[in-house]
Structure 1
């Protein structure tokens, strides 16, 4: 039965309106069903794998069984915890529930770094969640630094859920092939280890950090909305901690499991297999869906900041 002109116009309008709403980051979004990397690795306890980074015992609060850790930010300081080991490559993940209400200026970070052992040539892979005036308006920033590079490679996203109501998983896959940022097992960003990235690609063993701190000078509207401590204390909760990779032994010149993905006789790299080498076509489609709908900043599109874009930006065209 033919569709009438009025019905066709209505359908076209409906599709257009839904597309605009999703693109703005506030409409209904059905996340694609993709392979769940977080199902492949065990959950860790705080005491067995992590230690306090800063803030003291009143602000770094593991549960009795160590399966959940709460971090506190108040006017005196923020807080954080850090992995006991450094890793050459691997899979690193945490389920995070963010503080509610007014959180402008607050930064919650889940990241990797080796600034403790390589302060002038450090590498870093960052998830940074940036607070806002309204609980649903948290922004997600990802970043990559390599070998002390001062060039931030930021990309920023809206979220398609309220991150204060439930736990959501934020995961980093890092190996010699690529870095993949995932949210609830959906890839949102891939950084390929290409010739263009060269020394800017993180390549030294890193520890895993989780923190909450005062980012008043830049986090919300470029610093126009500082932390308002009348809403303090701000509490963020972490659970389902996963961390599996090639551990760094500081007494050995090379890692026990090789960085080229080939197992040696003494140990094996747990992050091997085709699923870790490259994204599947299904994952690529899901990633592009998220990026098209929710990414609102990429350094590769910032001509005001870069007179010449970083070389890897040309590979993406």
Structure 2
């Protein structure tokens, strides 16, 4: 093919096709990678039904219980998003749910599975976030993790990942381990991020939190920085949740339970060797953004970025 003989318009068309092909090929490779075998934390704790552990948070009819109240669907349409929250408040623990994401054109859609105490500490709250960001192509959902303490939203600690599977085809487990040693984000029991609790990490959550899940319109930021808003012609967008695990120290709304709890014990203080291998695999193959590499955002990097474990 003698590209040099093509017009400028033809060359641009060919280049755009090549870019699309590269994206499709890269996506196929990502989805074809086999994850390593790791310790299955989700097999260590009991599973609960939705109505056993949660209350509707907002959305009215858009919160739909299924399977006799053991599971729930959250819907987003023009009228409203929706969400639920845990009945109890926790200080440290293991929190997990199996989630299936909406399929099709989901640009601007945000599905969140997170811990927060914003309802109590409105000006200095803590959060530990899984945020799943929709895309114009169903297989390109992006996983964003984030933490902050004392309301430091403007200095969040975001990291973004592609997934090694299509999250719209089946349920996958998203889990948070939070104790005094570290916070670990896991997908299908594979750690994708570990946040060490040390003096450098000033944004480490320290107050009791509730567990939430929501689906909402993030058109102003979620997909390509807000360049792809929601198209409600594809609504309702439905996210499904089941197999809930909440194993932690139940606290009142303002004071942490500082008694030693199993989650704070040595078995959960460090990643095992296979978990460390899984963490390295996930981060080397699928992470495409870390705040610690964002010199445009931070003229001086947060101190934890300069600390090696």
Same fold, judged at TM 0.5 (above) = yes
Per the alignment, residue 18 of structure 1 pairs with none
Distance 1:22 1:227, change over 3 A: closer
Match for residue 72 of structure 1 among 63, 72, 75: 75
Task: Give 1:285 deviation, angstroms.
Answer: 1.3
Secondary structure (helix, strand or coil) at the match of 2:233 reads: helix
What does residue range 171-210 of structure 1 map to in structure 2 within 5 Å? 171-198=175-202, 200-210=203-213
**Structure 2 Cα separation of the partners of residues 250 and 104 of structure 1:** 36
Structure 1 counterpart of 2:104, from 88, 101, 105: 101
1:40 aligned residue? 44
| Residue 235 (structure 1) shift | 0.4
SS of the counterpart of 2:157? coil
Following the alignment from structure 1 to structure 2, what is the Cα–Cα distance between the partners of residues 173 and 294? 20
Match of 2:236 in 1: 233
CA contact (8 A) 1:45 1:65 kept: no
TM-score, L = length of structure 2? 0.88
CA distance in 2, matches of 1:316, 1:304: 22
Residue 288 (structure 1) aligned with residue 288 (structure 2): no
Gaps spanning 5+ residues in structure 2: where? Answer: 1-24
Q: Distance in 2 between matches of 1:169 and 1:182?
A: 8
| 1:108–1:211 Cα contact (<8 Å) kept | yes
**Over the residues paired in the alignment, what is the CA RMSD in angstroms?**
1.7
Distance 1:224 1:177, change over 3 A: same
Aligned to 2:169: 165
Q: Within 2, Cα distance between the matches of 1:287 and 1:72?
A: 32
Maintained 8 Å contact 2:51/2:70 = no
CA distance in 1, matches of 2:285, 2:256: 42
Quote the Cα distance in structure 2 between the aligned partners of 1:314 and 1:23. Answer: 32
1:140 aligns with 2:143: yes
Segments of structure 1 that go 5 or more residues without pairing to the other structure are: 1-20, 263-268
Deviations 1:172-191 (A, max 9, x none): 00000000000000000000
Query: Who is 2:218 aligned against?
Result: 215
- Describe the shift of the 1:81–1:254 C-alpha distance in structure 2 as closer, same or farther (beyond 3 A): closer
CA contact (8 A) 1:171 1:182 kept: yes
Question: Do structure 1's residue 277 and structure 2's residue 273 form an aligned pair?
Answer: no
3-state SS in 2 of match to 1:110: strand
SS at match of 2:170: coil
